Amino acid sequence: MGKTLECYFWNPELDLEDKLDFKYQDIGNGIELKRPIFTNDALDKIITDLKKKRKEFLLKMGIANILDIIGKVTDQWMNSDYSRRKFALEVLPTITGFSVEMLESLGFGYMLGLLKKEHIPLTGKLQNKNFTEFAEHGDGLVRAYGETEVAYSNYELELIGHVCAGNILGLAPLEMVMDKLVDAATWIKVPKEEPVFGAIYAKSIEDIDPQFAYTIAILPYESKDSKVQDFLFSKSDIIRATGGQQAKKGLTDLAYKHNIPIAGHWHKFSFITIARDYMNKRAKDIAELVSFDVTAWDQQGCFSPQEIFVETGGDVSAVEFSEMLAEEMETISIRLPKGSKSGKMHVLDGYHQYLKKEMMGEPVKLFPSSTYQWLVIFDGNKPTFEPSPLFRVIKVKPIDDIMDTVSIIKPLGSFLQTVGVAIPNNRLMPFANAIGEVGATNIRTVSNMTLQRSWEPWDGRFPLQELFEHDGIRWVSINTRDIEEDIKESLERKRMLVNQSKVK
């Protein structure tokens, strides 16, 4: 028997079901998606009710009660026998294209784990004058770049709107929880690529505390529906949006039209730099860690690496490291297989593009999967930054010195995001200062590139603080205070996450 999945959520007391028309979409495997066709009257009732529930319930709850509810919801999702989790794992592989194993380990095992009470960020505003150099914050380090120039400030937010991208799972839950920490009601436009999980998660909150849940609405409208988008933007205090460059222009223009701020997180590039100090007997461990960064979310996140720069002069050459990485890619692909939307043509395109170079005598060597599920490319040409075809296609390039990476990636500037590193403590800080100066925002030990920590900034801004204020400061983080120790811990963490997945 087929399943009809509701891609929406709001207070059922509004009794809108009989007043709206719905679109139905058959996506295969007996799954049908149900989306409402919104009218301004229905939207007005939803938004009015969100603000009413915020005033009547949320503002009277107190942070302790809010954290208690969030904790109870998270505890449910951490339980593999939880009925909504089991249901999500039944339907999400068809909807998202990710494998069950990927969703289980990274989606439920890690992303939702960020919502445990002990992980939720509650720190106040950091004073940038105290962070002109990297200084301790969370269990890592942060540094502030730029001068304070406040473009927006509002510490009494009533309603926050979110437009979520669909490249990874878990953004909608993170956003709705963040809003409750600042006493704001929430509407979320879930992405076309993954319109279901936001509503499932909101219903899990409803199971614990309905009135708390009714300060949230999940609204799966289409981006081309300008009337709906105009209405929602006009009623909001701020919009937080994630998406590509096309979305950036449209959403930024719309926010400007309605004179509201937008906290935008747009398309970015990320990469890995490995020092010669690790190209020795530890190279295999580093290759294992790197394989996780490339594999996670099938390389679809802005934080996914597209290039690896390996410093020459170690016992293991860059081409030998490429071979090691290929072996690890094969191993991890068994535990975290690709899903139904595997991007096989992207892998084949990368293969044929670089096979031609190899046949023409260029210093290129391919290490492909026998089934084209992934591809490692050694490219010994003069290093430049070239975007990857993605879907587990990664290039390894030798460089003479790790500091050479700075000039290679400098043209990317504001398009930089995460830098995965295996660089010893005595060499990390000069590299971090330089890479932060040109635009990178997050420096993380290899295998942690896709594992955002709750205290880290998002694209140079702290997620709670940016809801209140845009002050022009760009924050850069290092996710550890001891790279050597974190590499050891990262191996354990990576193996734990990967081993959580089920091998069929």
Give CA 350 to chain center in angstroms.
24
- Whether the CA torsion 75, 463, 487, 98 is positive or negative: it is positive
pLDDT band per the 50, 70, 90 thresholds, residue 501: low
Would you tell me which CATH number, out of the four given (3.90.420.10, 1.10.10.10, 3.40.605.10, 3.10.129.10), belongs to the domain 3-124+156-265?
A: 3.40.605.10
| Cβ-based neighbours of 378, under 8 Å, separated by 6 or more | 318, 319, 322, 364, 365, 366, 367, 395, 396, 397
Taking all residues of the chain, what is their mean pLDDT, rounded to a whole number?
94
pLDDT of residue 408: 97
pLDDT of residue 339: 86
pLDDT of residue 382: 92
Helices 283-295 and 318-335: crossing angle in degrees, nearest 10, is 50
pLDDT of residue 504: 45
Would you tell me which CATH number, out of the four given (3.40.50.720, 3.90.1150.10, 3.40.440.10, 3.40.309.10), belongs to the domain 269-500?
A: 3.40.309.10
Buried b (16+ CB within 10 A) or exposed e, 99-114: bbbbbbbbbbbbbbbb
pLDDT of residue 189: 97
- Which pairing describes strands 238-242 and 159-163: parallel, antiparallel, or unpaired? parallel
pLDDT band per the 50, 70, 90 thresholds, residue 502: low
Q: Residue range 213-229: average pLDDT?
A: 94
Residue range(s) in the chain whose domain bears CATH number 3.40.309.10: 269-500
pLDDT of residue 2: 82
Does the pLDDT of residue 402 top 80, yes or no? yes
- How far, in Å, CA of 189 to CA of 187, rounded? 7
Rounded to a whole number of angstroms, the distance between the first and last alpha carbons of the chain is 24
pLDDT of residue 346: 86
pLDDT digits (tens, 9 = 90+) for 56-92: 999 999 999 999 999 999 999 999 999 999 999 999 9
Residue range(s) in the chain whose domain bears CATH number 3.40.605.10: 3-124+156-265
- How far, in Å, CA of 262 to CA of 152, rounded? 10
What is the total residue count of the chain?
Answer: 504
| Cβ-based neighbours of 192, under 8 Å, separated by 6 or more | 166, 220, 222, 223
pLDDT of residue 1: 53
Lowest mean pLDDT among 172-176, 251-255, 441-445, 497-501: 497-501
| Per-position DSSP letters for 36-58, written without gaps between them | EE--HHHHHHHHHHHHHHHHHTG
pLDDT band per the 50, 70, 90 thresholds, residue 379: very high
Which tokens is 282 given?
A: 């530890």
pLDDT digits (tens, 9 = 90+) for 114-137: 898 888 877 778 999 999 999 999
pTM: 0.95
User: Could you count the other beta carbons within 10 Å of the beta carbon of residue 124?
Assistant: 8
- How far, in Å, CA of 16 to CA of 421, rounded? 51
- How far, in Å, CA of 428 to CA of 141, rounded? 12
